[in-house]
């Protein structure tokens, strides 16, 4: 998707090649073409395009992929939709204070 | 900071009223409350077993127009659905886009038939949000297939997948409840690719014996997908975020932010405060000043609203920066600079200049803040990115809001 990439080097996507079975499932489910299969193993080639939807991790039979997914983890989690005071706590945690 | 305070208050109340015990994958982030994608979790209605069909809750009378007869199967009569959308369907989608009846725009979960399906016909899985269902059926024209509608509480496939309601468990349950295995002879289901964040194909296989094939991202690619022997091409798997995709999302932004900023309870308070401030004077308060400066202030306020809700989503790829907050702030800045360039030398002396300076801080803050909330609607932003962005943007917002408000008040007395 030319022109629209989000922040660089923030994605939590991790792939452990040892556990990869080469089943290609990650390349099938990824909506942003993050993976390729090379030498029967998955590889991350388009890391910054990852939107952390978690589809790959869900569908990896070898549990080789981990990602902190939050598909709908929109900014609204900061603004609304949390129990009273939750937002404030989020903010404190973001800057390293435990509340 | 009043603005932020109000949002928190409003939301927290809503959230506690509508808390649901939906499990989520990330404990820290409970992704289960009201969301930009309308994923406001509801308690499920009376569990449906695939026999009762139609729209829920009092919409029965006009909810059946898309059922065109029935197909007899070993598990009973299965409704046959139309593949041509009627005006009612389009109107319904349009209304949902504008947040009218959006929270109750659902079809009953269960099994449906398209055309004249036999036990060998393919099974397409969908969500029970009426818009998702409509998009799917309108692209099954001329086909014979089964449609298995999951109970996603009236939420679209992608958002429901993100929350796990469109998920492995629901698929396995729905297959059992509808008796799908007695209707079809094969053991393959076609799940939309955007459902994959909630579905684990290998676990579905383990638990139900069904093989999951991921279909294309866009329902319009279903006919070529079927022709291609149920294989997606790389193009079918990529999610886009084109002009039209962004444009259709703006009404909901306008309505939800309009409520907060204009016609909602808190919006009215904000506007009242803005008018009160614009009337401040060295002599105290002058109504005459409200009549002159009030509309100006409201125009700036409305410009910030439009920048954030409409123009940022629309111009997204062409705005500078990667962060949405930067994109929104940039557009806001442009507006203020434009107005400032035009108004800087206007009569009124220092007051006018300070007023423009105040909006130089306030307008980009508002538009940037609205723009940031659009991350939930985009198809390319990651949660970690949102964290990073908010971490930097929120202190900036706090600072600019305070400076802006101080300048705004000060300008009245200058």
Which tokens is B84 given?
A: 């041509």
Residue A13 has pLDDT above 80, yes or no: yes
CB contact under 8 A, A10 and B384: yes
- Tell whether B261 lies on the interface with A, counting CB pairs under 8 A: no
Class of CATH domain A11-68: alpha beta
Q: Does residue B324 or residue B7 have the better pLDDT?
A: B324
Identify all chain B residues contacting A5, using CB atoms and an 8 Å cutoff: 322, 380
* Residue B7 placed within a domain: no
Which has the closest alpha carbon to B376: B282, B253, B242, B216? B253
The confidence score (pLDDT) of residue A3 equals: 56
Q: Confidence class of residue A24 from pLDDT cuts 50, 70 and 90?
A: very high
Average pLDDT on B59-75 reads 78
Burial of A9 (0-12, 13-18, 19+ CB in 10 A): exposed
Size of the A and B interface in Cβ pairs below 8 Å: 197
Whether A74 contacts B370, CB under 8 Å:
no
Each residue's pLDDT tens digit, B150-167: 999 898 999 899 888 899
Residue B241 has pLDDT above 50, yes or no: yes
- Tell whether A21 lies on the interface with B, counting CB pairs under 8 A: no
The confidence score (pLDDT) of residue B159 equals: 87
Cα B343 from chain centre: 38
Residue B316 has pLDDT above 60, yes or no: yes
Contacts of B253 (CB under 8 A, 6+ apart): B308, B309, B310, B313, B370, B374, B377
The confidence score (pLDDT) of residue A71 equals: 58
Choice among B28-32, B58-62, B238-242 with the minimum mean pLDDT: B28-32
Query: CA–CA separation, B355 vs B361, rounded Å?
Result: 10
Average pLDDT on B319-333 reads 95
* Residue B343 placed within a domain: yes
Query: CA–CA separation, B64 vs B130, rounded Å?
Result: 12
Is residue B71 domain-shared with residue B214, that is, in the same domain?
yes
Which of A81-95, B54-68, B387-401 is modeled with the greatest confidence? B387-401
DSSP code, position B74: T
Query: CA–CA separation, B246 vs B264, rounded Å?
Result: 25
The confidence score (pLDDT) of residue A1 equals: 44
- Tell whether A16 lies on the interface with B, counting CB pairs under 8 A: no
Query: CA–CA separation, B391 vs B383, rounded Å?
Result: 12
Which has the closest alpha carbon to B16: A46, A53, A82? A82
Q: What total number of domains does chain B contain?
A: 2
Nearest residue of B to residue A54 by CA position? B197
Which tokens is B271 given?
A: 């506007």
Q: Which of A59, A75, A88 sits opposite B375 (nearest CB)?
A: A75
- Strand B123-126 with B145-149, pairing: parallel
Is residue B281 domain-shared with residue B363, that is, in the same domain?
yes
Residue B193 has pLDDT above 70, yes or no: yes
Q: Which of A4, A59, A81 sits opposite B34 (nearest CB)?
A: A81
ipTM, interface predicted TM-score of the complex: 0.81
Q: Which of A29, A52, A81 sits opposite B383 (nearest CB)?
A: A52
- Strand B110-114 with B284-285, pairing: unpaired
Each residue's pLDDT tens digit, A57-98: 999 999 999 998 765 544 444 444 444 455 556 655 655 555
* Residue B322 placed within a domain: yes
Q: What is the DSSP string of B378-407?
A: -SS--HHHHHHHHHHHHHHHHHHHHHHHHH
Query: CA–CA separation, B327 vs B312, rounded Å?
Result: 7
Average pLDDT on B312-325 reads 94
Identify all chain A residues contacting B390, using CB atoms and an 8 Å cutoff: 75, 78, 94
Q: Confidence class of residue B283 from pLDDT cuts 50, 70 and 90?
A: confident
Query: CA–CA separation, B251 vs B313, rounded Å?
Result: 11
Whether B145 contacts B114, CB under 8 Å:
yes
**Number of helices and strands in chain A (H, E):** 4, 4
Which tokens is A55 given?
A: 């589809």
Cα-based distances in Å from A6 to A73, B230, B310, B328: 14, 32, 19, 14
Is residue B229 domain-shared with residue B279, that is, in the same domain?
no
Looking at every residue in chain B, the average pLDDT score rounds to: 84
Choice among A36-40, B2-6, B196-200 with the minimum mean pLDDT: B2-6
CB contact under 8 A, B214 and A29: yes
- Calculate how close chain B gets to A49, using CA atoms only, in Å: 7
Cα B388 from chain centre: 22
Choice among A8-22, A73-87, B14-28 with the minimum mean pLDDT: B14-28
Which of A35-44, B1-10, B279-288 is modeled with the greatest confidence? A35-44
Q: Does residue B35 or residue B223 have the better pLDDT?
A: B223
Is residue B230 domain-shared with residue B267, that is, in the same domain?
no
Residue matched to tokens 């009627």: B86
Can you give the residue range of the structural domain that contains B111?
A: 37-239
Is residue B235 domain-shared with residue B251, that is, in the same domain?
no
The confidence score (pLDDT) of residue A79 equals: 42
The CB-side HSE value for B86 (13 A sphere, CA atoms) comes to 10
Whether B51 contacts B112, CB under 8 Å:
no
Is residue B234 domain-shared with residue B253, that is, in the same domain?
no
The confidence score (pLDDT) of residue A88 equals: 57
* Residue B21 placed within a domain: no
Q: Confidence class of residue B139 from pLDDT cuts 50, 70 and 90?
A: very high
Q: Confidence class of residue B4 from pLDDT cuts 50, 70 and 90?
A: very low
Question: Last residue of a domain, which of B181, B216, B239?
Answer: B239
- Calculate how close chain B gets to A88, using CA atoms only, in Å: 9
Average pLDDT on A43-48 reads 93
Q: Which of A32, A77, A94 sits opposite B238 (nearest CB)?
A: A32
The confidence score (pLDDT) of residue B61 equals: 41
Average pLDDT on B385-398 reads 89
Question: Last residue of a domain, which of B239, B255, B270?
Answer: B239
Q: What percent of chain B has pLDDT over 90?
A: 67
The confidence score (pLDDT) of residue B144 equals: 95
Average pLDDT on B287-292 reads 89
Nearest residue of A to residue B163 by CA position? A72
Enumerate the CATH 3.30.70.20 domain ranges in chain A, comma separated. 11-68
Angle (CA) B103 B107 B111, round 5°? 150
């Amino acid at each position: 998707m030319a022109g629209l990439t989000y922040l660089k080097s923030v994605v939590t996507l991790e792939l452990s090649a040892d556990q990869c079975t080469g089943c290609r499932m990650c390349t099938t489910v990824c909506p942003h073409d993050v993976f390729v299969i090379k030498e029967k193993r998955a590889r991350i080639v388009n890391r910054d395009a990852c939107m952390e939807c978690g589809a790959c991790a869900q569908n990896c039979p070898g549990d080789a992929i981990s990602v902190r997914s939050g598909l709908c983890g929109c900014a609204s989690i900061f603004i609304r939709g949390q129990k009273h005071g939750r937002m404030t706590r989020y903010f404190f945690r973001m800057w390293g204070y435990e509340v | 900071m009043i603005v932020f305070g109000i949002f928190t208050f409003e939301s927290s109340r809503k959230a506690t009223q509508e808390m649901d015990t939906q499990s989520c994958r990330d404990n820290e982030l409970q992704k289960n409350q009201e969301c930009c994608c309308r994923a406001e979790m509801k308690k499920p209605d009376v569990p449906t077993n695939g026999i009762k069909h139609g729209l829920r809750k009092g919409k029965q009378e006009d909810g059946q127009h898309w059922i065109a007869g029935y197909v007899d199967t070993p598990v009973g009569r299965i409704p046959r659905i139309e593949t041509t959308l009627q005006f009612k369907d389009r109107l319904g989608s349009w209304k949902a886009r504008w947040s009218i009846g959006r929270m109750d725009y659902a079809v009953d979960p269960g099994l449906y038939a398209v055309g004249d399906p036999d036990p060998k016909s393919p099974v397409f899985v969908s969500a029970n949000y009426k818009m998702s269902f409509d998009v799917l059926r309108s692209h099954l024209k001329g086909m014979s297939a089964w449609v298995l509608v999951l109970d996603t509480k009236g939420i679209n496939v992608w958002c429901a997948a993100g929350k796990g309601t469109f998920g492995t468990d629901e698929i396995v349950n729905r297959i059992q409840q509808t008796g799908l295995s007695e209707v079809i002879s094969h053991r393959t289901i076609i799940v939309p690719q955007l459902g994959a964040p909630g579905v684990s194909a290998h676990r579905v296989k383990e638990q139900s014996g069904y093989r999951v094939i991921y279909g294309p991202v866009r329902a319009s690619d279903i006919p070529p997908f079927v022709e291609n022997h149920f294989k997606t091409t790389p193009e079918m798997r990529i999610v886009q975020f084109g002009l039209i995709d962004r444009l259709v999302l703006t009404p909901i932004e306008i309505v939800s932010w309009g409520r907060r900023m204009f016609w909602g309870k808190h919006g009215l308070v904000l506007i009242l405060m803005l008018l009160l401030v614009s009337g401040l004077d060295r002599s105290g308060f002058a109504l005459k000043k409200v009549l002159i400066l009030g509309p100006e202030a409201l125009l700036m306020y409305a410009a910030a609203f439009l920048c954030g809700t409409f123009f940022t989503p629309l111009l997204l790829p062409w705005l500078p920066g990667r962060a949405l907050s930067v994109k929104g702030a940039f557009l806001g800045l442009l507006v203020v600079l434009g107005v400032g360039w035009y108004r800087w030398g206007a009569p009124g002396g220092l007051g006018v200049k300070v007023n423009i300076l105040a909006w130089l801080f306030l307008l980009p803050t508002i538009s940037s803040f609205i723009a940031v909330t659009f991350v939930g609607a985009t198809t390319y932003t990651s949660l970690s990115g949102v964290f990073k962005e908010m971490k930097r943007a929120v202190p900036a917002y706090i600072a600019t809001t305070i400076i802006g408000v101080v300048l705004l008040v000060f300008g009245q007395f200058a």
